Structure 1
Amino acid sequence: MAENSVNALPMEDFSATIDGVENGEIPALPGGKPSLDMLLNVPMRISVELGRARIPVKSILQLSQGSVVELDRASGEPLTIYINGELFAYGEAVLVNQERFGVRLTSIVNRSEQIKNPREP
């Protein structure tokens, strides 16, 4: 009986908008209003990477307060910005106030550039 009630609910056909989304178009709801409004409050995880290091477990166990871990990037190199684990942009660290840092976006990576020159996430 539950299956019949679910099948009785009106369902919208979104298959017509899939081609438009892949081409960079914003799908519209009936009446012509863009449906992007539905996504405005969706939380996304933003990660900023300063650099990376490979360290054996033995060395990690020897770390203590004040230890320095050398990263694979030089000072002044762009930071890598990921959104939900996907490469999104590059930026630089900025001081927002005396207690907090922020990131100024210096370049946003487009999809074709990312495919040509992939970076390890």
Structure 2
Amino acid sequence: MTIYNREPDGRLDTPVDDEVTTVRPVSLPEHTNIIEGSSHAPSGSAFSLDLVGDVKVALDVMLGTASTTVGELMALAQGTVITLDRQVGEAIDVCLHGKVICRAEIIAIGEQFGIRVTEVVKEANATA
């Protein structure tokens, strides 16, 4: 643990091998959110969401959840059936970084699964 001594002018000093390291507070200017279209963006902002439009993100499609004991988990074998908390036909959650962004139904696209969005979530606090 390092103990700092506060000098009368507000600086924090601590000896390091017979040297003194000076630590002082930094004063930074206030900043604002500059994302265009944001309710917090300053008018005439030069930043545009077009700059990040091609950034790839991973979506998690949550079919449902189940609770089990460690013993039941250890006994899993091929053919074990696990009941989920969702009903057949009930909308599933689509999440981005743990936040529900929309709800959807599962569809088949050729030989692959897909989803059809049924609701876009507008609540900022939605979580999976």
Residue 113 of structure 2 corresponds to residue 101 of structure 1: yes
Residue 109 of structure 2 corresponds to residue 82 of structure 1: no
SS in 1 for 2:83: coil
Counterpart code for 1:69: I
In structure 2, the CA distance between the partners of 1:85 and 1:25, relative to structure 1 (3 Å rule), is farther
Q: How many residues align?
A: 99
Instruction: Report the identity percentage.
Output: 28
SS in 1 for 2:117: strand
Question: Does 1 or 2 have the higher relative contact order (CA < 8 Å, sep 6+)?
Answer: 1
1:41: which partner in 2? 54
1:7: which partner in 2? none
How high is the TM-score relative to the length of structure 1? 0.68
Deviations 1:33-63 (A, max 9, x none): x611211122212011111101111101111
User: Which one has the bigger strand percentage?
Assistant: 2
2:38: which partner in 1? 21
Q: Unaligned stretches of 5+ in structure 2?
A: 1-29
Flag as ranges the 4+ runs of structure 1 deviating above 2 A: 13-20, 22-28
How high is the TM-score relative to the length of structure 2? 0.64
CA RMSD of aligned residues (A): 3.0
SS in 2 for 1:103: strand
Measure, in 1, the Cα distance between the counterparts of 2:42 and 2:100: 21
User: Which one has the bigger helix percentage?
Assistant: 1
1:65: which partner in 2? 78
Deviations 1:52-100 (A, max 9, x none): 1011111011111111111011111111111122110111000000x20
SS in 2 for 1:38: helix
Report deviation, 1:19: 9.2
Residue 122 of structure 2 corresponds to residue 110 of structure 1: yes
Which 10-residue stretch deviates more, 86-95 or 14-23? Answer: 14-23
Report which of the two structures shows the higher radius of gyration computed on alpha carbons: 2
